[in-house]
Amino acid sequence: MAKKAQALIVAITHNLLLRYEQTPETEHGVTNAAEDQRRAQRTETMARRCAGAGQRLSALVLQARRATQRSVKFVRWLRQSIRDRATVALAVPRLVALYATL
């Protein structure tokens, strides 16, 4: 029973983080271009390794990685915003500034 409860909490947390990560992008146009570029480079490297081994990179691997990867910057920003009880007007500019740094 405890493992089932833990799995449910993990699933709920993941879904909430995904929703909160999409909100700044869709409602305020905030994107993490640097992280997107790093992910694209990692994916390209994996694809080259697979091609070198005579295999294709599975689309399932790509989708699973995208669904499970959360930016550390985003998680820290969210944690700080919740802790500070920041309004959207204050939190979004913080996220923009955070994404502007490498």
For the segment 29-81, what is each residue's pLDDT rounded down to a tens digit? 888 888 878 888 888 898 899 899 998 888 777 776 566 666 778 888 889 99
Asked whether residue 26 falls in the same domain as residue 40, the answer is: no
What does the alpha-carbon distance between residue 82 and residue 90 come to, in Å, rounded to a whole number? Answer: 12
What does the alpha-carbon distance between residue 37 and residue 42 come to, in Å, rounded to a whole number? Answer: 9
Asked whether residue 75 falls in the same domain as residue 52, the answer is: no
Q: Which domain holds residue 94?
A: 1-31+71-102
Asked whether residue 3 falls in the same domain as residue 24, the answer is: yes
Which position has the higher pLDDT, 66 or 94? 94
**Could you give the number of structural domains in the chain?**
2
Question: 98: closest CA among 76, 70, 65?
Answer: 76
The amino acid sitting at 72 is: V
Give the pLDDT confidence score for residue 66 in this predicted structure.
61
Kindly report the pTM of this predicted structure: 0.61
Asked whether residue 38 falls in the same domain as residue 57, the answer is: yes
Give the pLDDT confidence score for residue 83 in this predicted structure.
94
Asked whether residue 80 falls in the same domain as residue 65, the answer is: no
